[in-house]
Amino acid sequence: MEAEPAPAAAARSGLPAAYERARETGDAELMAAAALDLPSGQRFGVHPGRVPALIHEAYAAAVTPVSRCRLASALARAWVYGGDARRATAFAEEAVALADGLDDPEVLTEALDAALVAHWGPDDFAERLALAARLADTTAHLTDPEARLTGHLWQLTTAWECLDLVAVQRQLRALDALAEESGRPRHAFFAASRRAALALVQGDTELADRLLARTRDLGALAAEPDLEAVVHDLSAARARRAGDTGALRREAAAFEEFGAAEGVPSVSAEASVLWLAAGAEGRARQVLDRLAGSDFGTVTRDVDFLLTVACLTEVAAALRREDLAADGARLLSPFAGRAVLNGGAVTFHGVVDDYLHLAGAALARPDAADSRRAAAAAYRRIGAGWWLDRLAVPAAAPAARARTVRLHPADESGWLVGDEGSAFPLPHLRGLDHLRALLGRPGIEVSALELSAAAPGRAGAVGLGAGTVVDSETAEIADRRALAAYRARLRDIDAELDDAASRADRGRADRLRPEREALLHELRAATGLGGRPRRFSSTEERARVAVRKAVVSALDRIAARDSSLAGLLRDTVRTGASCRYDPDPARPVIWLLDPPDTAGGDAPPPIV
């Protein structure tokens, strides 16, 4: 193969310096030429640094329509590659408008490419198809291999989005021919990597392995900026199909580290799926909680929108996060029938209908079967055997696996709390003692007096603190305020239940009912005739308040590290004059309440 004319990695690092030298000359055309080289060193999704600012400086100084058009195109691509597509649209539109007035197909190719990357979101599919068709017409009679590469890659990407296997194969053959004709490692890199993606879809792992090795070699030879990302994506897909737990864990760790370091949600979302596939549900849950919180409202509707939401929906469905599964289904529904891709057809991540099926099955929705049939039909059509086989496994099966959680003293310095394999340290907190005592006696009422007296360091005494005294008048005022808060929350819950019923949102209603029952129980325990507060002894009142505050404080500390675990405990542990832990059958947990070194032959078994 002949030497690649594009800059090598070492040269790319000097591109900003080359631009600085061009700026010193004051020559606008020289600045434009140097600025146009800057995006060649960008990695997709990584923050672009000062590259857009330098390109914009040259763009503002441009004196010819051709230079201004090319710089507007480069600026649009720089922003999209840097993860900020919102800034790209205006520059891409200007580039196309300028190119339409020029009789230069190569300049128009650059402008159409910029328009395509600026309209790479899920809602612009029709416009993307039209732009890709126009780009294909523009590049059809060009001899420039880079322009032809651009045209073939966009046609390949839209063909995958349409699940048009014939068009996919035709464009792969076109990439092969381009690599053969040009002799350039960069073109061969794209041909090999995209063929590897198809081989993985169709289950030819031997071919995929050969192509993956070739992709590594060619990408290194061409100093391709996205080489590492492409290899990781293909390797992760290969590990999933092989069920290689070791490789899955290595890739999951790499994806999680990169996604967090660079702030790329799609990479982090892929990490959550890889952790789930590796059996590390605790790590998958942590990534899901960091990215989503209570919904997917923060996911940007850009090139990676479908990939990010699909991955998070799969994890949410498997971990019985009905709120997130429902939100994922809502966001994905308009795109049924579409493929989920990573970037420019780097890897195939199934079809939207598959993820709608996973969410629907977790939520027991009647339309889940329809989504499953649509996904199966799509997979049969393109020969995606692995994806078809996984549909045969009941979607709700992962939910039956119990979550293993540690909550016990670790040593003299503190406690160990969290999922097995990813537990975290916490200091000694009285609330953790209370939680541990309740978790060890599921379904049993335990008085606040007993919990407070049993907490280490209490010596049987009950109180809010040294020297604190709660008189009857203060206790009655506190009780009245608590009752008012209970009744206000009950009114809110009833309104939310009515709204859930009107929307047929069974998952939301199921989450609200336990809280309503717990509040009613508190009201019954705390009120007498006519709804008046019962009279408690000052000792009982101090115990109730002390236990509640201690548990709330402990849950807040847990939530800072694992919001899903804190949410589970808030949903299943009730405090008051009497306290109780009621396990949630939909979220089974194996509680490890004793340190490993104390769980000898006579130690009690884990609590389920």
pLDDT tens-place string over residues 420-440: 888 999 999 999 999 999 999
Most confident region among 210-219, 295-304, 579-588 by mean pLDDT: 210-219
- pLDDT reported for residue 126: 94
Which of the residue ranges 351-355, 466-470, 494-498 would you say has the lowest mean pLDDT?
466-470
Tell me: pLDDT of 473 over 50.
no
Structure tokens at 285: 């849950």
Predicted local confidence at residue 465, as pLDDT: 38
Q: β-pairing, 403-411 with 589-592?
A: parallel
Question: Which pLDDT value is given to residue 104?
Answer: 94
pLDDT at residue 35 in the model = 80
Q: How far apart are CA 453 and CA 459, in angstroms?
A: 7
pLDDT of residue 4: 39
CB 45 within 8 A of CB 73: no
- Helix (H) or strand (E) segment spanning residue 15: helix 15-25
State the pLDDT at residue 244: 93
* b (16+ CB within 10 A) / e for 480-505: eebbeebeeebeeeeebbeebeeeeb
Angstrom distance (rounded) from CA 143 to CA 137: 13
- Cα separation, 115 vs 319, in Å, equals 39
| Whether 438 contacts 551, CB under 8 Å | no
Confidence of residue 481 (pLDDT cuts 50, 70, 90): low
Q: Which residue has the higher pLDDT, 487 or 308?
A: 308
Q: Which of 154, 142, 144 is nearest to 116 (CA)?
A: 154
**Whole-number Å distance between alpha carbons of 410 and 407:** 9
Please give the C-alpha separations between residue 463 and each of 450, 482, 543, in angstroms, as whole numbers: 12, 19, 6
Does pLDDT of 578 surpass 80? yes
Q: Provide the pLDDT for residue 159.
A: 96
Q: HSE on the CB side for 603, CA within 13 Å?
A: 13
In the predicted model, is pLDDT for residue 8 greater than 70?
no
Residue type, 599: A
Per residue in 153-182, is it b (16+ CB within 10 Å) or e — as a string? bbbbbbbbbebbbeebeebbebbbebbeeb
pLDDT at 509 over 90: no
For tokens 């057809």, name the residue.
345
How high is the pLDDT of residue 600? Answer: 44
Q: For 416, which DSSP code?
A: E
Structure tokens at 281: 């549900």
Q: CB neighbours (10 Å) of residue 517?
A: 12
Q: Tell me which of 107 and 399 has the higher pLDDT.
A: 107
Flag whether pLDDT at 310 surpasses 70.
Answer: yes
What share of the chain has pLDDT > 70, as a percent?
85
Query: Which residues on adjacent β-strands are paired with residue 416?
Result: 408, 425
CA pair distance 251, 274, nearest whole angstrom: 7
Q: Which of 30-39, 90-99, 226-235 has the lowest mean pLDDT?
A: 30-39
Measure Cα distances from 521 to 279, 352, 557, 580 in Å: 38, 43, 27, 11
Measuring CA to CA, how many Å separate 205 from each of 196, 200, 356, 382, 521? 9, 6, 28, 16, 59
Rounded to the nearest 5 degrees, what angle is found at the Cα of 307, between the Cα atoms of 588 and 244? 60
Q: What is the pLDDT of residue 467?
A: 34
Q: Which of 193-202, 547-556, 590-599 has the lowest mean pLDDT?
A: 590-599
What is the average pLDDT across 596-601? 53
CB distance 463 to 542 below 8 Å: yes
pLDDT tens, position by position, 128-170? 999 999 999 999 999 999 999 999 999 999 999 999 999 999 9
Angle value at C-alpha 128, between 230 and 49, nearest 5 degrees: 50
Rounded mean pLDDT, 406-416? 88
Domain parsing of the chain, residue ranges: 180-401, 402-598
Total residue count of the chain as it appears in this document:
608
**What tens digit of pLDDT does each residue of 537-548 get?**
577 888 888 899
- Model confidence at 495, in pLDDT bands (50, 70, 90)? confident
pLDDT at 395: 45
Q: What would the pLDDT profile of 21-47 be if each residue is shown by its tens digit?
A: 878 888 888 888 888 888 776 777 778
Residues 6+ apart with CB under 8 A from 331: 296, 299, 309
Quick one: pLDDT at residue 524?
A: 63
The confidence score (pLDDT) of residue 475 equals 47
Is the pLDDT higher at 16 or at 405? Answer: 405
pLDDT of 563: 86
In the predicted structure, residue 226 carries a pLDDT above the cut 60: yes
Determine the Cα–Cα distance for residues 334 and 296; give it in Å rounded to an integer.
15
Cα-Cα-Cα-Cα dihedral sign, residues 96, 102, 107, 109: positive
Task: Give the per-residue pLDDT at 603.
Answer: 44
What own/partner pairs with CB < 8 Å and gap ≥ 24 does 561-564 have? 561/417, 561/418, 561/424, 561/426, 562/285, 562/286, 562/289, 562/417, 562/418, 562/419, 562/424, 563/289, 563/293, 564/285, 564/288, 564/289, 564/319, 564/321
Least trusted range by pLDDT, from 32-36, 93-97, 254-258, 574-578: 32-36
Q: What mean pLDDT comes out for the span 163-187? A: 96
* Mean pLDDT for the stretch of residues 521-527: 62
Highest mean pLDDT among 48-57, 281-290, 370-379, 576-585: 370-379
**Which of 101-110, 216-225, 338-347, 472-481 shows the lowest per-residue confidence on average (mean pLDDT)?**
472-481
> Would you say residue 458 has pLDDT above 70?
no
Q: Tell me the average pLDDT of the chain.
A: 85
The Cα 304–Cα 343 span in angstroms is 7
Q: For residues 401 and 340, which has the higher predicted lDDT (pLDDT)? A: 340
pLDDT reading at 472 higher than 50: no
Give the integer Cα–Cα distance in Å for 573 and 439: 8
- Determine the pLDDT at residue 534: 52
pLDDT digits (tens, 9 = 90+) for 361-408: 999 998 999 999 999 999 999 999 999 999 886 544 444 467 899 999
Residue 103 has pLDDT above 60, yes or no: yes
Element of type H or E holding 157: helix 145-162
Q: Does residue 483 have a pLDDT over 80?
A: no
Percent of the chain with pLDDT over 90: 55
Reading the block at residue 231, the tokens are 């290899």
Give the DSSP H or E segment for 252: helix 245-262
Over residues 296-323, mean pLDDT: 93
